[in-house]
Amino acid sequence: MTRARIIAAVVPLALSSCASIVSAPDETFTIDSKPTGANVTITNLPGTTVYSGITPLTVKLPKSGGYFNGLEYTILFQQDGYVPQIRRVTPHPSAWFLFGNLALGGVIGWLIVDPITGAMWTFDETEINTSLVPIPPRSTSRQDEIQPALVVLTVDQVPKERRTHLVPLAPS
Residue 36 lies in a domain: yes
> What pLDDT score was predicted for residue 27?
78
Residue 155 has pLDDT above 90, yes or no: no
Pairing of strands 127-131, 73-78: unpaired
Give me the percent of the chain exceeding a pLDDT of 90.
28
Q: Which amino acid is at 155?
A: V
Min mean pLDDT across 10-14, 48-52, 60-64, 106-110 is at 10-14
Instruction: Annotate 14-50 with b (16+ C-beta within 10 A) or e (fewer).
Output: eebbbbbeebebebebebbbeeeebebbbbbeeeeee
pLDDT at res. 80: 93
Q: What is the pLDDT of residues 53-103, one digit of tens each?
A: 999 999 998 866 656 567 788 999 999 999 999 999 988 776 555 555 566
Q: Is residue 141 part of a domain?
A: no
Distance (Å, whole) CA 64 – CA 70: 4
Instruction: For residue 131, name the pLDDT band (cuts at 50, 70, 90).
Output: very high
Residue 148 maps to a domain? no
Question: What is the residue range of 82's domain?
Answer: 2-134
Residue 172 lies in a domain: no
Give the chain's mean pLDDT. 74
> CA 42 → CA 68, 75, 155, distances in Å?
22, 5, 58
What's the pLDDT score for residue 26?
A: 75
Number of domains in the chain: 1
Least confident of 6-10, 62-66, 81-85, 150-154: 6-10
The answer as to whether 143 is a domain residue is no
- Is residue 91 within 8 A of residue 123, CB to CB? The reply is yes
Q: Tell me, what's the pLDDT at 166?
A: 81
Establish if 47 belongs to a structural domain. Answer: yes
Domain membership of residue 142 (yes or no) is no
What is residue 61's predicted lDDT score, i.e. its pLDDT? 82
The secondary structure of 133-161, three-state, reads: EECCCCCCCHHHHCCCCCCCCCHHHCCHH
Decide: 77 and 59 in contact? Cβ < 8 Å: no
Sequence-ordered list of residues with C-beta below 8 angstroms from that of 46, at least 6 positions apart, any chain:
65
Cβ-based neighbour number of residue 92 at 10 Å: 13
22-62 tens-digit pLDDT:
555 677 899 999 999 999 999 998 789 999 999 999 999 88
The pLDDT of residue 16 is 45
Residue 122 within a domain: yes
H/E segment holding residue 13: helix 2-15
- CATH code where residue 97 lies: 2.60.40
Rounded to the nearest 5 degrees, what angle is found at the Cα of 117, between the Cα atoms of 112 and 121?
100
